[in-house]
Amino acid sequence: MLRKAAFWLLAGALLAACTAPAASPPAQPAEPATVPATAPVTATLPPAPDQPVTPTAAAAPQAEALPPPAPVSETTGLTETSAAELDWLADAQTYRDEVVGFELRYPAGWDLIDVAPEVKQTSLGYAVTLNSWPRQEGGGGIPEGGTKIDILVQKSAPAGPTDAAAIRRDELAQDPANPTVSNEGTLTLGVGLPATRWEVEGQMGKTVEIVTATNGYTVIFSGMGDFALVEEIARTMQPFQ
């Protein structure tokens, strides 16, 4: 009886061993994951907005030095170059007005029609005339190629040359003959005395006027003929006290 029981126990153990599931092999350690090598990342920046391109300025050429102004003669009121170009200055004559206080040069051989000193002292205005031709009794008008200058003096006591020009401009505007004034400009007479120059078209034809003031007097050069010569003579005017 005991033998039979032992037999059945042994047979049961063998049967259990055959039917049991096979044991799983021991777990192997996991290999570390291999990270594929990657190329270095290069940051790509967005394109910059268009910027205005400032052109590089070319170097400016050096300005050429200007020659110094020509010296002005204290005798004639003209530059040395201008005086050298005026042949008539070599033997020019001098007109001197002791009442107003100025003198000027005019070409030799010209006729001077002056006013007596007492008339200059007592009158409110007077005129001295320069003619490029000899005086003729009863003659009138200007011969061909001739030049005439009337030096008009007015005791209007202007504040200065600019005032004198304004007074004369008003006189012309109120003239009943209605003369036309054109080509207005400026001149510099002896020792820097400023003057105003214009041309007047009236009943007597076309004249050039050069207006200035000195020592409380208005002085007007009214010329016919060679306007350039009239200006040259006027520019020699030298005021004195």
Give domain status of residue 56, yes or no: no
Instruction: Please tell me which of 52-61, 74-83, 201-210 the model is most confident about, judged by mean pLDDT.
Output: 201-210
Q: What is the pLDDT of residues 226-236, one digit of tens each?
A: 999 999 999 99
In a domain, 181, yes or no: yes
pLDDT above 90: residue 115: yes
In a domain, 90, yes or no: yes
CATH number of the domain within which 232 lies = 3.40.1000.10
Domain-located, residue 108: yes
Tokens 């007007």 found at: 220
7 falls within a domain: no
d(CA 191, CA 209): 20
Which residues, other chains included, contact 190 with Cβ-Cβ below 8 Å and sequence gap of 6+? Answer: 74, 76, 77, 104, 235, 236, 237, 238, 239
**What's the predicted TM-score (pTM) here?**
0.66
- 188 located within any domain: yes
Does some domain include residue 49?
A: no
Count of structural domains, the chain:
1
N residues, the chain: 241
pLDDT-derived band at 139 (thresholds 50, 70, 90) equals low
Residues 6 or more apart in contact with residue 3 via CB below 8 angstroms: none
Pairing state between β 125-131 and 111-113: antiparallel
Structural domain boundaries enclosing 161: 80-239
